[in-house]
Structure 1
Amino acid sequence: MNIVEHQHEEIKDLCRAFLLLEKEDEVFNFLKDLCSPCELFALSERWQICKALNEGLSYREIHTKLGASLTTIGRVARFLKNEPYQGYTLLLKKINEKKKEPL
């Protein structure tokens, strides 16, 4: 059993807490309280890598643009390709749909 399975209810409780936040600054402040600067950087770096991979950038281009390690880029790429939870894909899809909405 991995830590995610072991802490399943606690993690779901955290997810429900995020759903209560309505504004970007509320989420940002909560994340700053919740995470160390290094943890917050790691989360945001993975998300930027995900978006860059989705745009078709190569590992080297992403490394140059973001300074991310090739190992981290590869890890994100593996999850994008073989996502067990479809989290990255779902959010990318929602963002693309939002971009198509008329202003």
Structure 2
Amino acid sequence: MQVDKIRGHQTEQLIEAVLALKDKEEAYRFFDDLCTISEIQSMSQRLEVAHMLRMKKTYEKIKNETGASTATISRVRRCLNYGNDAYDAMLERLYPDEKPFELPKD
């Protein structure tokens, strides 16, 4: 599994902390303390890029609407195509009524 490369004591502690969050407000406070605004915005942007890729939006439209670079869009697309399917799992939970589609493999 690809996630083995990030496993370790510190990462384990972080994952446990995220799983222990009780509600959205607590999550906002935790991430505000843990991350810079830029880091939070980058993670949020990547999730939105993944959502837009799943909805068959073009790179140009994604770039214009999110401000993401084409390098970021390409990286997210690689994760959608060859990653751990985590983006898909989370987006299916966030948007259960949307019909997912199969991204063409490069």
TM-score normalized by structure 2?
0.79
1:27-42 aligned within 5 A = 27-42=27-42
Counterpart for residue 78 of structure 2: 78
CA distance in 2, matches of 1:96, 1:68: 21
Instruction: Give the AA of the match of 1:95.
Output: L
- Cα deviation for residue 70 of structure 1 reads 0.7
Q: What RMSD, in angstroms, separates the aligned Cα atoms of the two structures? A: 1.9
Instruction: Give the AA of the match of 1:96.
Output: Y
Deviations 1:39-95 (A, max 9, x none): 111111111111111111111110111111111011101100111x22112112222
Instruction: Give the AA of the match of 1:75.
Output: R
Higher helix share: 1
Q: How many residues align?
A: 95
Paired residue secondary structure (1:22):
coil
Counterpart for residue 95 of structure 2: 96
Counterpart for residue 5 of structure 1: 5
CA distance in 1, matches of 2:5, 2:16: 17
TM-score normalized by structure 1?
0.81
